[in-house]
């Protein structure tokens, strides 16, 4: 790729100005591998290509989930060690998320055993300074030293936790436990001059610990290299094999199971309700089809629709809409092994009674009930997200935005305490 002048250089990558786009830089991953803040250094031919491949696949997954990252394109071809990313002013903080105790945490907390689970996840910050061995910083220190504002640090922490959960889910699909993860952030100037926090740098096999089957002896990550004394050529070959395996496994992260939702409504009078569900599903990127079929009036036809849906490719969740006496949801549920969510239209003077027809079911019938159309779509997204990491990530990001809305509303609503003094 044509490159402009060098912009910056790290231990394992070089950044160049993009020749045509002033707002973009090219990250060129190098074949070096280092440990001990650069004290140990080796070259593994092809490692730069594997690092770029791994990072590109991970950042594409995170972008697909709706997370703001600096990644634009590149790095995905088997012979390509370069990615194009948005230009950022890097914040010199490593944000580490830990799900399981390992590494430097154990040295700092010798009483804790390797493998102890952190619930909630633990977030730690380290100031990037090789000469001082990346000292741990508190949130207060980061803010006092003007490295990030409280709002920026809050965003970095929240996004780091989301990234961890998304990658933990992706690894879980392959029976691999994500132990911990390091991410970095930058400030990007948007077209309208706003400063935006973006997930930046790289996420590759140097950035995490991953244990297949939860077993540290089967680790696949850079810790293998850290644990070696002075590595011999054949040992470096073993390290390279692990990096190749990880790049290949990461290619599965965006694998879609082709999930979809079939909305069956008892009458065309329910179309507006169905429309709201379809719109909310589109927000998650879930395709849906709509049918009108009544359990009371056209039972055989409704059954045919269920059989047709069940024989289609991909995972299906049904959302059934019926007003008044809801026979449809239980009827569909008894006819299919796939999940059925009843989202009844509650409207008449009998509303309180009507709902009982969705709740009180015979044995062996398990249609679920979710009243709000948007919530029914969310429930379907959660079900389909069980083995689809993009969907799982989109649900996580939607929940994060919903939490943020509440907190921002509180900030707008909050008034000064009496006398203007906190705690007065
Ligand atoms: P620890 O603090 O236990 O050494 O590392 C915590 C996590 O952050 C591990 O997943 C480790 O691989 C990652 N990590 C820590 N420091 C660095 C670093 O300087 N570069 C990279 N790529 N990852 C790091």
Q: What's the pLDDT tens digit per position in 343-356? A: 999 877 787 889 99
Neighbours of 319 (CB within 10 A): 30
- In the reported structure, the alpha carbon of residue 86 is separated from the centroid of ligand 1 by a whole-number distance in angstroms of 24
- Compute the distance from residue 31 Cα to the ligand 1 centre, in Å: 18
Query: pLDDT tens digit string along 157-194?
Result: 999 999 999 999 999 999 999 999 999 999 999 989 99
Instruction: Output the ligand 1 site: residues, CB below 6 A.
Output: 94, 96, 103-105, 180-182, 206-209, 222
Is the separation of the CB atoms in 101 and 118 below 8 Å?
Answer: yes
State pTM to two decimals: 0.95
Q: How far out from the chain centre does Cα 203 lie?
A: 13
Q: What is the pLDDT of residues 20-60, one digit of tens each?
A: 999 999 999 999 999 988 889 999 999 999 999 999 999 99
Q: How many CB atoms lie within 10 A of CB 286?
A: 21
Rounded Cα–Cα distance for residues 154 and 123 (Å): 11
**Res. 341: pLDDT tops 70:** yes
Cα gap 381→98, rounded to integer Å: 27
Distance 208 CA to ligand 1 centre (A): 6
* CA gap 29, 41 in Å, rounded: 15
* Whether the Cβ atoms of residue 72 and residue 85 lie closer than 8 Å to each other: yes
Dihedral (CA of 81, 50, 62, 138) sign:
negative
What is the rounded distance in angstroms from the CA atom of residue 227 to the CA atom of residue 240?
15
**Atom 10, ligand 1: which residue's CA is nearest?**
208
**pLDDT at res. 424:** 45
List Cβ neighbours of 63 (8 Å cut-off, separation of 6 or more).
Answer: 69, 71
Angle ∠(255,383,246) on CA atoms, nearest 5: 30
Q: What is the DSSP letter of 119?
A: E
Please answer whether residues 262 and 248 qualify as being in contact, where contact means their C-beta atoms are separated by less than 8 angstroms.
Answer: no
Tokens of 408: 């921002």
Atom of ligand 1 nearest to the CA of 12: 22
Q: What is the mean pLDDT of the chain?
A: 95
Q: What is the pLDDT of residue 1?
A: 84
Q: What is the pLDDT of residues 124-168, one digit of tens each?
A: 999 999 899 999 999 999 999 999 999 999 999 999 999 999 999
pLDDT, tens digit (0-9, with 9 covering 90-100), for 198-237: 999 999 999 999 999 999 999 999 999 999 999 998 999 9
Q: Which of 103, 133, 160 to mutate to test the pocket of ligand 1 (most atoms within 8 A of CB)?
A: 103
> Using CB atoms within 10 A of its CB, is residue 408 exposed (0-12), middle (13-18) or buried (19+)?
exposed
Q: What percent of the chain has pLDDT over 70?
A: 98
* Percent of residues, the chain, with pLDDT higher than 90: 90
Question: What's residue 73's pLDDT?
Answer: 95
Say yes or no to pLDDT of 422 above 70: no
Nearest to 74 by CA among 53, 92, 51, 43: 53
CA atoms within 13 A of residue 11's CA, in its CB half-sphere = 15
- Tell the residue number behind the tokens 């008892």, with chain if given: 266
Contact (CB, 8 A) for 200 and 90: yes
pLDDT of residue 332: 98
CA of 423 to the centre of ligand 1 (A): 40
Closest listed residue to residue 383, CA positions, set 317, 334, 290, 321: 317
406 burial (CB, 10 Å; 0-12 / 13-18 / 19+) is: exposed
Gyration radius from the chain CA atoms: 26
Full DSSP string of 72-116: EEE--STT--EEEEE--EE-SEEEEEEEE--THHHHH-TTSPTTP
Helix (H) or strand (E) holding 42: strand 40-43
Average pLDDT of span 55-83: 93
194 CA to centre of ligand 1 in angstroms:
31
pLDDT of residue 409 exceeding 80, the answer is yes
What's the longest Cα–Cα distance across the chain? 80
Confidence of residue 420 (pLDDT cuts 50, 70, 90): low
Q: Is 179 in a helix, a strand, or coil?
A: strand
* Nearest residue to 264 (alpha-carbon basis) of 310, 324, 305, 299: 305
Q: What is the mean pLDDT of residues 305-328?
A: 96
- Length of the chain, please? 424
40-43 and 32-35 beta bridge pairing: antiparallel
């Amino acid at each position: 790729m044509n490159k402009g002048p060098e912009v910056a250089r790290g231990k394992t990558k070089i950044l160049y100005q993009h020749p045509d786009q002033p707002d973009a830089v090219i990250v060129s991953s190098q074949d070096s591998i280092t440990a001990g803040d650069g004290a140990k250094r080796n070259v593994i031919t092809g490692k730069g290509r594997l690092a770029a491949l791994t990072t590109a696949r991970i950042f594409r997954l995170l972008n697909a989930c709706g997370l703001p990252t600096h990644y634009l394109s590149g790095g995905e071809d088997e012979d390509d060690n370069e990615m194009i990313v948005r230009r950022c002013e890097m914040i010199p903080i490593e944000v580490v998320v830990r799900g399981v105790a390992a590494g430097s945490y154990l040295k700092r907390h010798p009483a804790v055993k390797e493998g102890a689970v952190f619930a909630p996840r633990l977030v730690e910050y380290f100031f990037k300074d090789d000469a001082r061995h990346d000292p741990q910083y508190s949130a207060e220190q980061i803010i006092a030293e003007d490295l990030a504002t409280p709002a920026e640090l809050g965003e970095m922490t929240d996004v780091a936790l989301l990234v961890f959960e998304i990658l933990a889910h992706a690894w879980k699909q392959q029976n691999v436990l994500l132990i911990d993860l390091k991410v970095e952030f930058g400030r990007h100037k948007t077209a309208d001059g706003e400063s935006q926090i973006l997930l930046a740098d790289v996420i590759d096999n140097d950035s995490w610990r991953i244990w297949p089957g939860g077993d540290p002896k089967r680790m696949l990550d850079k810790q293998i290299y850290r644990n070696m004394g002075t590595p011999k050529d054949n040992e470096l070959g073993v390290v390279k094999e692990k990096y190749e395996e990880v790049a290949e496994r990461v290619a599965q992260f965006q694998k879609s199971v082709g999930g979809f939702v079939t909305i069956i409504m008892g009458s065309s009078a329910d179309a507006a309700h169905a429309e709201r569900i379809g719109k909310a599903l589109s927000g998650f990127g879930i395709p849906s089809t709509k049918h009108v079929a009544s359990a009371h009036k056209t039972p055989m036809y409704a059954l045919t629709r269920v059989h047709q849906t069940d024989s289609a490719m991909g995972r299906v969740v049904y959302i059934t809409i019926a007003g008044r006496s809801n026979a449809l949801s239980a009827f569909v549920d008894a006819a299919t092994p796939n999940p059925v969510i009843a989202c009844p239209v509650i409207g008449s003077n009998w509303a309180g009674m009507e709902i009982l027809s969705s709740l009180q079911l015979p044995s062996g019938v398990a249609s679920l009930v979710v009243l709000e159309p948007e919530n029914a779509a969310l429930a379907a997204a959660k079900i389909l997200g069980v083995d689809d990491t993009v969907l799982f990530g989109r649900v996580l990001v939607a929940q994060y935005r919903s939490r943020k809305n509440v907190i921002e509303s509180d900030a707008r609503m909050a008034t000064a305490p009496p006398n203007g003094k906190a705690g007065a």
